[in-house]
Each structure stands twice: as C-alpha cells, then as structure tokens.
Structure 1
C-alpha cells in the first residue's frame, strides 16, 4: 500500500512532512549567482517517487504556497511571492512537474525495486528542472548565459543527486520488502 492509498488524514500528515523535508533541503545550499545549488531537486524527486505523482505534486505545490505566503522555506530561508518572478522562478515552477514526472515513473516501476530505472527517473527530473528553469532565466539574461549560469554548474550535482536519490529509493524498497 502506497502513501496515496492511505487515509486522508495520513496523507495530510505526509504533505506536512514533505513540505518540512523540502524546506530543510532548501537550507542545504551553495550560494551562486543567479541560482544557488541546493538539495531541493533531490527532495522534489524523492517526494514524487515516494508519494506518487498526485500526492507528490500536491506536496510540492503546498510548499510553494508556503513560500509565496512568506514562510522561510526557499533557498537559505528566503520567502515571498517576489521569488516567483525572479531568476529562480522557472526552477520553482518546474518543481511540481518534476514531482509529477518522477512520481508517474515510479508508479510504473521506475522505483527502488529497479535502481537503474530509478536513477534514470531522477536524471529526467533534474533535466526537466534545469531545462524549464533555464528557459525562464533566458528571458532575463539570454539563452547562452542561461545555459552557462543556469544549467552547466548544476549538471554534476544533478547526476550526484540522481545517484543518491536512486540509492535512497533502493534502500526504502529493501526495507519495505523486509517488513512483508
């Protein structure tokens, strides 16, 4: 039974836990201009993969709403609606799509029971985030600079986060199997 199959109250608790996990991942950062490196993409892909596409997407949207309402849940404790029009807006708006993508793939077997597919799911999630984030950033600084500053510095980190995400999903799947 997945989280999405649990009672509604349990799912609400999972959403709260997911937004707390995302907020904590936002504080793990390497400041860079115009976009910092954080652990947010790892959190978003894991939430999608573990929660499924519907609940994962809803969790990420709830976290974005917290940010827009002024809660310090973004990178380095940032908050406020102005972040949804700044250089990081494209990445922020990509997060629900990334959670949906990784959740949808996980529901189709791209999960911890198949680590290579879980890794590919995480890579696709990270690539989606970088592509959409860079497209938004390109409006402000041009396509070439958006690629140079909004994609290239994040490629190695995206791969490392994908490996870590797949490994964590593998461990979770093994623990789940052991409980049965």
Structure 2
C-alpha cells in the first residue's frame, strides 16, 4: 500500500485534541457547538417545504473539528434540546412535531452526517486537504438531502419530494460545502515537522 493512500485512511488530523482534555473541557466544547448550531439555524432562506439554513454547514464543520464522537454527541444534544422545546431549530422553532413532520428526515440525518464528516476528517479529509474536505462535506450534505427526501416521499410523494426537498437545496449544499472546507482550512494549524 502506498504512503499517500495510507495517509488518507489513517487518522492524520486533530485540530482540537479531545483525547487529552477533561470532561469539563469537553462539556464546554459541546455547549459551544450547540450555540454554533443554534445560531446557524437562525440564518434562514425561506423555501417550501423546509427552509434553507446554515445548519448543514455547522453540522459538517462541527464533525470535522470535533471528530465523530463529540461531533455526533453535540448534534444529538442539540436535537434533544429542540424536542424539549428550546428554540434551537430553524428560525427558532422547537417541538416534537418537527421530528414527525416534513423536516424530520433532515433532522435525523444531521447527526449521521456530522459523525460521517468527523470520521472522514480523522482520516485525512480535513483542512490539510481542502479538496477532500470539500468532497466530504458535499457527501454529507447530499446524504442529508437524500435522507430528507426519502422521509418527504412518505408525506408528499416521490416527485414532489425531489422537486421541493432536493432540487432547491443543491446549490446551497455546494456553497455550504465549499464554505465549510475553506473555514476548516483557515482553522487548520500547519504543524512544522
């Protein structure tokens, strides 16, 4: 196996060294991540049947920065806050009904996308390799759209789910993936060997 291939599949990136941090530090990171996700939810472009927000930007960036474990836990904690009535979802929304209505598929896709991006980042799809980071974030955005569309299909049918729940968000997904990869690159510290 070549060295370049090994570097893509082996963990090579640790922007935020979580393994050596105390539980209190991890809790602070989780709270900060929740605030970041909530703020990203308030940046909203009205669309039907679901608004386009910066949530997938935040989800993929948190996964890349925090790694798959803490990134996934942060996103799940944020979703639980939404279920419990805290105004953390798109536009300050909250409540259980968002997890059974048209937005449910997208919401349930978020932790999976964050975990996937964290896993990819830990294996070299990160700010050190901005094109791989972009591709990873694009894959995660596409997964959210696909999962959301599958859920929407059960509510409004396949054609409407694609027309209303995927197509309007394709350009936004590409833009948010590029922005996420650039942000990750800017946050990446170059280590001198």
Query: Would the TM-score normalized by the shorter structure come out above 0.5?
Result: yes
Residues 3 and 11, structure 1, Cα contact 8 Å, conserved in 2? no
If the length of structure 2 is used for normalisation, what is the TM-score?
A: 0.89
Residues 31 and 37, structure 1, Cα contact 8 Å, conserved in 2? yes
Is 2:165 the counterpart of 1:159?
A: no
Q: What is the match of residue 54 of structure 2?
A: 39
Q: Which residue of 133, 154, 167 corresponds with 2:148?
A: 133
SS at match of 2:137: helix
Shift in alpha-carbon separation, 1:4–1:169, aligned structure 2, 3 A: same
Deviation at 1:178, TM superposition (A): 6.8
Deviation at 1:31, TM superposition (A): 1.2
Deviation at 1:4, TM superposition (A): 2.5
Q: Which residue of 69, 76, 83 corresponds with 1:61?
A: 76
Q: Which residue of 69, 89, 92 corresponds with 2:104?
A: 89
Is 2:190 the counterpart of 1:177?
A: yes
Report the structure, 1 or 2, having the larger helix content. 1
Q: Distance in 1 between matches of 2:85 and 2:159?
A: 32
Residues 98 and 129, structure 1, Cα contact 8 Å, conserved in 2? yes
If the length of structure 1 is used for normalisation, what is the TM-score?
A: 0.96
Unpaired stretches in structure 2, ≥5 consecutive residues:
1-13
Q: What is the match of residue 158 of structure 2?
A: 143
Q: Which has the larger radius of gyration?
A: 2
